[in-house]
Amino acid sequence: MNQKANSNALFSPFQLGDLTLQNRIALSPMTRARAGSMQIPNALMAEYYSQRSEAGLLITEGTFISKQAVGWVNAPGIYTDEQAEAWKIVTEAVHSKGSKIFLQLWHCGRASHSAFHGGELAVAPSAIKLNDKYIHTPDGKKDLEVPRALDTDEIPQIVEDYKQAARRAKEAGFDGVEIHSANGYLIDEFLQSKTNKRTDRYGGSLENRFRFLHEIVNAVTEVWPANRVCVRLSPNGNYNDMGSEDYRESFTYFASQLDKVGLACLHVLDGLAFGFHELGEPMKLNEFRKIFSAPIIGNCGYTQETAEAAIQEGNADMIAFGRPFISNPDLVERFRNGWSLAADAEMGAWFSFEKEGYTDFEFYDLGS
């Protein structure tokens, strides 16, 4: 048995709030686009999550909290009772394997298009266009548009949408929720000075830019106890045209404020595999460890060895894996036994809308 199989920390049980997890490996939230045009979870999605249920914690793909939140073709929603009911086949499949699953709450913000919204512009904290080549819409590839800046009196309704989505997640049988505050989507757009030029109480100072997320966390924790709620941040990322000059000061402040809540965890995309804004030295997990006392999940580009080291060194409590889980549904067992990993899947297969590139990856063949 090789050195990989001798790792211990990754496979040790972990107490996440009041949940006992079977190991410290998480399935990272990844948009897989199999919910169809009505954004309703289905048996194929249940099979996908069930296949990967050896992870201690599964975090679902981003899930739209409202119609306004939509910005990705065939991604799922949690804003209707029908959607919530359909998610039950997923949660039941995961629970039958002994694992736990959180739903990721998502609003795309400016990373959307009027083609998703009957001709209405996407919304954002400020009317600043996302600088990218195009966006995939129900009508095909489209040029990105300048979003509409939200009026101050519109924001409470979005906060309420998060609360109602969290309520439906509980009814659907999830073990908790993750508030997606990363990767250039709506909450991240409010947090970062690059995309937030507001002059009301939601813009300007660090306190004001944090206010939107703070209100969402407060609303969601009226539905769930705080130790069943996770927040995801991406301090180093440039995805969706992000990256602010004051990133270190900003994310240090945000994490310190979130520490007061008693969250289940802070999920940090500290790795650079998803893109790096190159505005200074990347923020590392040990910086967050100094200011955030609850569990920390590291993410983005980890290998088994670097994940083990992050936990052994005390910088992370869990590590989330994304792309390796796509083509290795049995990733946990491959790590545990030192088995080789399957090659990364071609990106073109990730969004086939069918089982290809989704549930058709083989488990390790002991006879090979």
What is the set of active-site residues?
Answer: 185
Ordered DSSP codes for 96-114: HTT-EEEEEEE--TTSS-G
Alpha carbon distance 164, 170 (integer Å): 10
Please give the Cα distance from 104 to 286 (Å, whole number).
Answer: 25
Q: What angle do CA 74, 75, 79 make, to 5 degrees?
A: 115
Which residue's structure tokens are 């790795």? 271
Contacts of 170 (CB under 8 A, 6+ apart): 223, 224
Please list the helix, strand and coil fractions of the chain in percent, rounded to the nearest 5, in that order: 35, 15, 50
Going from the C-alpha of 26 to that of each of 14, 105, 168, 284, the distances in angstroms are 11, 17, 23, 19
* Residue 362 structure tokens: 């083989």
Torsion sign over Cα 34, 327, 93, 297 = negative
Backbone angles phi, psi at 266, to 5 degrees: -110, 125
| Cα 267 to Cα 42: distance, rounded to the nearest angstrom | 27
As given in the structure block, the two tokens for residue 46 are 């249940």
